[in-house]
Each structure stands twice: as C-alpha cells, then as structure tokens.
C-alpha cells in the first residue's frame, strides 16, 4: 500500500511539474526607434554612391507548412514590402545618391543590397542582408532581427511609422558606418567602375583596357576614358535613360506597397495575435497530453493495488487521463484551424504591373509583362539605340591615366 502511495504521489507530482513546465512564458520586448536623421557632416554630392536594392528573396525554403502562419503568397508580397521600406530608410539618411529598387537584371550600381526573409509572422521579423559594391567586393552579410510587443500595433503608433522601423534603421546605420570608412578616392573609383560596367554591357571588348576582373568577379580600375570621349558621353546619355526607366518602376513598387498596406497590416496584426495564440494553444495542448498520459499510467498502477479504494481511483484516473489527452488533441486541432484561417487570408495577396509606353526620338514603344520582362525589353531597345548612335560618332581618343 505504501509503495502504491509513493508511486501515485510521484506521478501526481510529475503531472503537476509537466503542466507547469509546459505553460512557461517567454518575455518579448520592442522599442520604437526614431527614423535616422541626416549626418552632422554631410557627404559631398559628388561622393554620394547610388544604391540598388534587390527585391528580397521571400525565403520560401524556410517555411514550415505545418507550423507557419504565412504562405508563399504572403512572402512574395513581403519581398516588395521589405525592399521598399529599406529604400525609404536609406533615403531618409541623406547619405546616398539615388536609392532604388532595381530589376534583377541590373547590376551596374555603386552599391547593391540583397537579402532573404528568414522569418516574418507579425511578431518577429528576421532578415539576412548582403551588401556589395560595383567592384564586386562584399561589404558584409549580417542578420537583423526584431520582436514586437503588443503595443507596436497600437493605432496611434502605427500611424507614425512601420512597426519594424527599428530593424530598417539598423541596416541603414550599418551601411552608413561602412561607406564613411571609405576614402574619397575609393568612392570615386566605385562610381567610375559602375559607369564602365554599364558601357561594357553594350560593347564588352571596347572597355577591357579600362578594368581587370579576377576569377572571383572582382573589378579593378586601371585607367579612365579620355576626357571628352564621345562614346563614353553617349553611353552616359543612354545610362541616364536607363535610370529614368528604373525610376518609372519605382512608381510601380510604391503603388504596390500602398495597395498592400491595408490588407497586409490587417494580416500582420492578426498574424501577431495568432502566433501568440498558437504558441499558447500548443503549450496547453502539450501540457494536457502529458497530464493525460501520466494520469492514465497512475490509474493502471493503481489497478495493481490490493486496496479497492485505490483500484476505484485508478479507474477514475484512467478515464480522466483519457479525457485530458483527448482535450489536448482537440486544442491542437483548434490551433491548426487558426493557421488555416491565416493562410486563406494571406493567399488573397498578389502583385501586378501595368504596361509602360515610352516615347523615343523616332517611335513610341510599349513594354508589357512582368517587371523583369519589361526591363529586358527596355534593355534590348537601349542596345539598338547604342548601335545606331555610336555608329554615327567619330573615332575615339586614347584613354587618360587613372588619377592618383
């Protein structure tokens, strides 16, 4: 009898410990950070580097369909949202030239930013960001993470800024710290390499004497084109047209982000609450399952007791444990219902792009399709312009040496 009491007491304690352990709480905090301000010592305009931000990789490979409260459709929309927010954070620092979201095919920019969405559920945003320059040198790859408190979705705060603004500000600060560590000569070199790489796209062999590129894709500037080179001047004119089209695409990204704002904010806030609710439900479900199993085991042990009272209690324990275990399964099913509801909401998000009609000197062209398809069509048109206009120019002068 004493042995049974000891066994039952031990199991009862285990049930209590199991229930308490499964309901442990984690503390999360978030502070709203101010948007970065212009640096006290502005960078001279001729040394400002242009920044191209790629649409972020949606990180679909990181999604767990059984546990995630998001879908590939949401992540695809977020790839635009995250890039646009980063563009705006960088623009507000006034430490850069033009800051744009760039099509996948464009690589001739002074500084390129790419990234992957590791996690995004309304409560946590985790990004991996890589920054490289036009010479092919990687500045760094870093991970950024921010977790929100429930106050981040307070309507009064939400009207002021993006809930995860602090994360974007941190990326902007890191980029500013790095660019300020570069010498003026290095920044001028990066700007020259960007221009020459753009020119190489149209006539690769004509610009091999100006730069070298190693096996790792790193560019080194050997010398500059001659001052007043008509070909370079014409290429620069084409580059301006290219940038103007990329500027047109910014309207698409901004408009998409504006249309996304309403439904995405609602989804994100719901996802925040659902993520916390799911965590609580899963913890409770696990606790109930553990408690149910232990109660059933205690009841089975009681059946071996010589006491009729203990055997009766054992039968009741088995029944109660089975009900507790089933309750845990039911609450786990409730969590899956929440997940399904979020996925249905997320699948309604999408993106589109309107055709662009552009007037040229001798004709009007209409570009259609996706962003990348339109940009590919535009580049083909620029190549035709290059071949036509360059063929009308006189022979070129020799190049100037690279200034010391």
Lookup: tokens for 136? 């092919």
Start-to-end CA distance of the chain, whole Å, equals: 95
Lookup: tokens for 330? 């039911």
CA-wise closest residue to 171 among 138, 144, 133, 141? 144
Task: Please report the pLDDT score of residue 387 as a whole number.
Answer: 85
Q: Is the pLDDT of residue 345 over 60?
A: no
CA-wise closest residue to 63 among 342, 383, 249, 399? 342
| Dihedral of alpha carbons 384, 388, 389, 395, sign | positive
The domains of the chain are located at 1-398
CA 8 to centroid of chain Cα atoms: 53
Residues forming a β-bridge with 212: 220
C-beta of residue 86 within 8 angstroms of C-beta of residue 102: no
Range 25-47 average pLDDT: 60
**Residue pointed to by tokens 């055997």:** 311
Give the torsion through C-alpha atoms of 252, 254, 256, 259, to 10 deg: -140
Lookup: tokens for 297? 């085991």
Task: Please report the pLDDT score of residue 329 as a whole number.
Answer: 41
Weakest mean pLDDT among 8-17, 93-102, 157-166, 252-261: 8-17
CA-wise closest residue to 72 among 259, 328, 347, 256? 347
- Name the residue with higher pLDDT: 390 or 179: 179
Average predicted confidence (pLDDT) for the chain: 75
Helices assigned H by DSSP within 203-229: none
Distance, CA of 85 to CA of 254 (rounded, Å) = 10
Residues forming a β-bridge with 138: 132
Distance, CA of 389 to CA of 394 (rounded, Å) = 11
Structure confidence by residue, pLDDT tens digits, 306-330: 655 544 544 445 455 555 444 444 4
Task: Please report the pLDDT score of residue 333 as a whole number.
Answer: 42
Lookup: tokens for 293? 């199993």
Range 145-153 average pLDDT: 81
| Position 25 confidence tier, pLDDT thresholds 50, 70, 90 | very low
Task: Please report the pLDDT score of residue 395 as a whole number.
Answer: 46
Task: Please report the pLDDT score of residue 334 as a whole number.
Answer: 39
Backbone angles phi, psi at 346, to 5 degrees: -70, -35
Quick one: which H or E segment has residue 302?
helix 230-303
Q: Is the pLDDT of residue 108 over 80?
A: yes
């Amino acid at each position: 009898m004493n042995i049974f009491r000891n066994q039952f007491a031990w199991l009862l304690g285990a049930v209590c410990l199991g229930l308490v352990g499964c309901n442990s709480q984690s503390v999360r905090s978030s502070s709203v950070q101010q948007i970065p301000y212009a640096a006290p010592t502005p960078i001279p305009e001729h040394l400002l580097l242009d920044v191209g931000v790629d649409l972020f990789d949606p990180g679909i490979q990181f999604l767990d369909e059984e546990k995630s409260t998001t879908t590939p459709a949401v992540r695809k929309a977020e790839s635009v949202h995250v890039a646009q927010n980063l563009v705006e954070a960088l623009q507000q620092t006034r430490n850069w030239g033009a800051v744009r979201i760039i099509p996948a095919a464009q690589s001739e920019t002074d500084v390129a930013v790419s990234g992957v969405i590791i996690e995004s559920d309304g409560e946590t945003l985790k990004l991996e960001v890589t920054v490289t320059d036009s010479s092919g040198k990687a500045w760094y790859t870093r991970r950024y993470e921010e977790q929100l408190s429930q106050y981040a979705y307070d309507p009064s705060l939400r009207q002021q800024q993006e809930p995860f603004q602090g994360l974007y500000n941190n990326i902007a600060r890191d980029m500013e710290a790095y660019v300020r560590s570069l010498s003026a000569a290095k920044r001028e070199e990066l700007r020259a390499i960007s221009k020459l790489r753009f020119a190489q796209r149209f006539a690769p062999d004509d610009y091999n004497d100006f730069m070298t590129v190693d096996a790792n894709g790193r560019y080194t500037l050997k010398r500059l084109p001659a001052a007043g080179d008509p070909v370079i001047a014409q290429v620069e004119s084409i580059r301006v047209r290219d940038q103007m089209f990329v500027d047109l695409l910014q309207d698409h990204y901004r408009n998409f982000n504006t249309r996304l704002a309403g439904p995405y904010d609602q989804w994100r806030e719901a996802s925040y609450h659902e993520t916390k609710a799911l965590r609580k439900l899963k913890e409770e479900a696990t606790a109930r399952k553990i408690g149910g199993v232990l109660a059933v085991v205690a009841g089975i042990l009681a059946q071996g007791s010589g006491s009729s009272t203990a055997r009766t209690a054992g039968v009741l324990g088995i029944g109660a444990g089975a009900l507790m275990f089933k309750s845990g399964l039911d609450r786990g099913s409730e969590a899956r219902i929440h997940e399904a509801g979020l996925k249905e909401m997320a699948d309604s998000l999408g993106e589109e792009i309107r055709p662009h009609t552009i007037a040229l000197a001798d004709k009007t062209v209409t570009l259609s399709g996706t962003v990348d398809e339109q940009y590919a069509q535009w580049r083909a048109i620029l190549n035709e312009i290059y071949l036509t206009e360059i063929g009308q120019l006189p022979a070129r002068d020799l190049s100037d040496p690279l200034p010391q």
